[in-house]
Each structure stands twice: as C-alpha cells, then as structure tokens.
Structure 1
C-alpha cells in the first residue's frame, strides 16, 4: 500500500472513533500520537541508513492528507513534526541529528514549530525575540503566539535574530528547558481545537550552540528552501483531506435523510448541484496537491509555484465546500447532528494559518511573473 492508504488504515482504526471527542474536549490527542510513534510514522522522513523509512515529500503529503480526512488536528500536528525534522536533517550538525533522530527512532519523540509571533503575525520569518549571544550559548527571551502541539512535542523550532547582522537563525528548544512556559489557558481555537496551539514564553532560556540548526544567519534560507515546501504542501494536503471529509459527510447526510414518501435529500436537484460542486472543488484541490507533490519529488524548478497554488486551492475549497455542505445539512448540521459543523470550523483555520492565503496569493502572483518572494 502507498503512504496515503497506510495513513487511512491507521486513521480509520485509531482516529475515527475519537475525532468528535478531540474537538469537544479541545485536548491534544496524545493517545493517537503515541500510536503514530508505535507504528513508525514519526520516522517517515528519516533516511533508512539512520533507522527511518526514507520517505519523500510525496509520502509526507499523502500521510498528512490521509490523517486529516479523519481529523484535521491530527494531520496538522503530524505535519509540523515532519517539517521540523526536515530542518534538522537538512541543516543540523551531525551531533544534533544523531541526538534528535535517535530519540525519534528509539524513543518515539516528536517535534513542533514555534515560529509565529504576535507582532509579525503571518510574516513569521521576521522574529522579534530578544537574544543575547554569549560564549558558546544563546539566551533567548520573548513570546511565540501559537505553538501547535504545545507541552506534548519534545522539541520546538524557534527563529531568532542572528549574531550575523540582519539575519536570523533556527534553534531547537527542548521541552523542559528552564525558563520555557506554555500558556495553555489562552488557547481558544474556533476549530482544530485539539491542536493545543497556545502561546509559548521564553524567559532567559539558555541554549547551547549545539541546538542551533545550520550556519549563522542561515535561518531565512531554511525557511524558504525547507520549511516552505514541506509546510505549505503539508497544509494543502491537510485541507485536501478535510475537504474530502466534508464531501463524504455531505453525501452521507443527503442519502440518509429520508422523506415520508421514501425519497431522500439526494433526489432534489438543488442538493445534487451542491454535492456536485463540493465533489469537483475537493477533488480538483486534491489533484493539484498530488501534482505539486510529484513535481517536488522530481525536483522541478517550478514546483514551488504549484505547491503554493495547491495550498490556496485546498484552503479555499475546504471553506467553500463547508458552506455548501451546511446548506445540504440544514438544521441538523447546524445543531451539531453529525460532523459537518465541526468540519466547517476546522476549515476556517485554513485562511489564517501562516503564510495566510492572502500572502500566498501575492507570492503566487509574483512567482508567475518572475518576481522574487517574499
């Protein structure tokens, strides 16, 4: 089976039974992530010679989509682990890679991103943290605004101003570092409520230079050559999966909702139009996402164009289809009878997840007219 089929098999067994509970309790799905670790998903992108599965960006995309079809929170939080791990694999020192990869493979630890800040918003690559560079270490203070998998991931990637003037660096912050604090009471997401995306405070957190990823001043390069393709394609995959879940739920409701004469909602032409539009938008976004993943695997020079286009298409498709699906679901869906109301709330996160759809649309316009980004 391919990676999508493997993820769907896992999700049907472990995620589907508690997807509603994750939303209702707004708690990080620790038990699911324990299972993901047990079944080897955390080491998907690690090279085989390091004990991993040697997956590609296409495998990354397929797993994120397969998980998100059952629960967008699970797909998103898993996606961020892969992105963080790719930075470490791509630019980390041999010692740093050995430590973290070893813990992922042998101890089933996972990683997360802590990039967003209140001041810079969707432009997360412009950090405003305070950092003091000492002999062999850095002392970081400040706050990150929305850190997914907060308190549960073992490592958090943080962008901070570099000692190289005008540049940024990418750091790994271990869970349990002295001065690291999470504000879980300030997470009130409308959708994707299991993300645990709360603020993270760094109060004079001391980090040995061992935890710096790459050369001094290489952070921005990492953002646009590693983070961007894996993160943006990952989001396209998550929202393609969510869109398919919306489509499936709308069809199930339309065929199951019967009238006294035995006919169903699905027999009404207006409903058929809504379902057809949902199906077309969702599958067009999924096809573009798969196409972008194939281009990325081949190393096509313009792969980033289709990756960005896929993210935009998948995000907008998820929201638009959730609106049409709510029309199909009517009062029952509005009153939380079935998953459509939950899926609709999850879909709206797609517009603001950095880089936002507005920012990505500008980037896409620049790229297709041979202008530099950002």
Structure 2
C-alpha cells in the first residue's frame, strides 16, 4: 500500500499540477483535486483509524501540504482548512459526531472548514463578537464570518462563538451547510491563492442542536490553542515551504534551459548561482524547521509551542524571499504567465498576513523566549 506522502505526490502530479494555472486564472475551487483526495482516502488523513481514517499526525499534515503547495497553493490551503476542521471534531468527537462526520470524511464524501474570522476582530480570530443564544436544547446563531476558505463548497463548518453565558468562554459548533438560515455571500478575488473560495458566511437564526457542540460549553479557547493553532500554523508553514520549493524548482529549471547566443546557460552566470544557492538553503532550512516543529508537537515536547510559532515566521518569510529571488532569476519571462513563478510570488505573499500574522507570532515568540506572559 502506498504511503500517505506517495499518495499525495501521485495526486499532485496527476491532478493538482495540470490544473494549477487554470484554478489560479479562473479563481475556482479545486474540485477535481478534492475528488481525487476523497477517493484515495486523503481527506481522512487526520481521522483516527478507528473511525475509518488514516490516523495521520501533524508531521504528515506538514509533509502533505508542502507537497501539494509545490504545485498549487490554492489547493493546499483548501486541503489545510478541511484538515483543521477534521482535527477539531476528532479532538472531542461524540459517537454521533464520529458517525455523522468523521466516517464520511474518511470515505471522501464530506468536506469541512473553519469559520472563525470576523470583520470586527481581524487577526484576533480567537475573540469573536458573535454570541450563541441558548434556546432549550439548541443554540441560535446570528452574525457573519469572513474569509471562510472552502466557503459554500464545504459540507460543514466549525463556527466559533461566544458562549451564551459571558463567563463560560468560547464555543465551537459543527454547522451543516444546508441548515436553515445559513447562506454565503461575495466571491474571493484576491491577488493570490485565487482558488480558495474564501467567502463570507451569513447566519440568520441558525438553530444548532446541542449535539453539534464540539466538546463541552466553554471548550472553544482550549480547542483553539491546543488543536486549531498547532494544526493551522504547521499546515500553513508546509504550504509556504511548498510554494518556495515550487518557485525554486521552476527557477532552477529555467536557469538550466535558458541559453545565450554563445551556448552558455543562465545557470553558468555567477550571480544566478548565488541566487540558486540562497533559494536552496532557504527552502531546505524552512522545510526542516517545520517538520521538526511538527515532530516536537507530536511528541509533546516542552518547547513545541515555541517551535510551532516560529515555523510559520520562518516559512512565510522564506517563501517571500525565495519567490522574489526566483523572479530575479527568470527575469522578464518570470514576470509573465509563461512560467509559474509569478503565481508562486502572489500566493506566497498571503502567508505573512494570515492570522496569526508574522508580527503577532514574532511578539509571541519574543515574549516566550524572554519569559514574558503572552497575554
């Protein structure tokens, strides 16, 4: 049986890569890739084996997102957000939730996502304004969520709200897309990651049964920092490393194939060799750091949180650096759609502004190493 990484590589080569340019150009959801992921069982990467999944770890998530993003950042981000939603349910799943969500995910018939961000909270996604109102054995949700990756292509959403009682903290609910009162608005028209389908979720008197609550009331904050943050930060680190590697490989191929009139290749120019060296080092360093951070998280090491946070800083900054250098190597052709370098450059810029932003993470890392409380 093929390994998880072999499966991801095969689907990326056969399905993701050939469609990457079209997905970017048209700004459409990568449905073909998700169909292939589902058929291969990769949508259930993080579903426990007892629920029919692959029982993968954060190390697997980093490796898979890096592999996918090497060809298409949009597909990798959509896959990551589905994986984060899966991890949330898996962390606290009731028997009912296992049967309704985890098994279908493992079978490739359900896609999920997170609905955390709100216009008024920005990067502080862990401080929602929406409050769940209790009504008998149900909760009623009203409000709007922004930047919901996968959007209306997801079958369910993990929605973050304040608990009905202010002192209870945060709640997370599994909300099915077809629940009355749920609708989506807008379209994603970003300069990069154009296939994300990152749109707004509108909820009007959405009634959610208590059985759809993830964990107990007030578990939301713990789920954010113990489940969502590690999976998202490490996964997006993998995405950014993949984008950097894709740009580096495209630039390397161009440098070897581009010939001058005297027969010399671009790769024989010293300045280009310096650029290639810088790119190679940046990609490998960021990749190794992200994978080691994931290993530390899986092992529960004391320094895992610090390494996880720093992995996104290093990966996103490396992605910007490498894609810019790749543009220099490829020159005028890199500035056109003849080469994928300009797409990698646009996609890579998003990493630094995704919450937690680079600035927020640097503050947290700096406080952590100095022994200063985060909050």
Q: TM-score, normalised by structure 2?
A: 0.96
Q: Is the 8 Å Cα contact of residues 41 and 107 (structure 2) preserved in structure 1?
A: no
Partner of 1:282: 283
Partner of 1:171: 173
Q: CA deviation digits over 1:126-170, x for unaligned, max 9?
A: 001143211111111111110000111111111101023241101
Q: Distance in 2 between matches of 1:116 and 1:225?
A: 18
Partner of 2:253: 252
Residue 2 of structure 1, CA deviation: 4.5
Q: Does 1:181 align with 2:183?
A: yes
Q: Distance in 1 between matches of 2:240 and 2:336?
A: 24
Q: Distance in 1 between matches of 2:372 and 2:42?
A: 38
Q: Distance in 1 between matches of 2:63 and 2:147?
A: 25
Q: Cα 1:257–1:85, aligned 2, differ >3 Å: closer, same or farther?
A: same
Partner of 1:66: 67
Kindly report the root-mean-square deviation, in angstroms, between the aligned alpha carbons of the 2 structures.
Answer: 1.3
Partner of 1:118: 119
Q: CA deviation digits over 1:181-209, x for unaligned, max 9?
A: 11143x21110000000111111111111
Q: Is the 8 Å Cα contact of residues 334 and 341 (structure 1) preserved in structure 2?
A: yes
Partner of 1:96: 97
**Once superposed, which parts of structure 1, at least 4 consecutive aligned residues long, lie more than 6 Å away?**
none
Q: Is the 8 Å Cα contact of residues 44 and 107 (structure 2) preserved in structure 1?
A: no
Partner of 2:219: 218
State the SS of the aligned residue for 1:119: coil
Q: CA deviation digits over 1:22-43, x for unaligned, max 9?
A: 1001000111101100000011
User: Which range moved further: 27-36 or 161-170?
Assistant: 161-170
Q: Distance in 2 between matches of 1:56 and 1:189?
A: 31
State the SS of the aligned residue for 1:123: coil
Q: Is the 8 Å Cα contact of residues 35 and 108 (structure 2) preserved in structure 1?
A: no
Q: Is the 8 Å Cα contact of residues 163 and 216 (structure 1) preserved in structure 2?
A: no
Partner of 2:351: 350
Give 1:28-177 correspondences, 5 Å limit.
28-106=29-107, 108-166=109-167, 167-177=169-179
Residue 229 of structure 1, CA deviation: 0.8
Q: Does 1:195 align with 2:193?
A: no
State the SS of the aligned residue for 1:158: strand
Partner of 2:325: 324
Q: Distance in 2 between matches of 1:265 and 1:305?
A: 41
Q: TM-score, normalised by structure 1?
A: 0.97
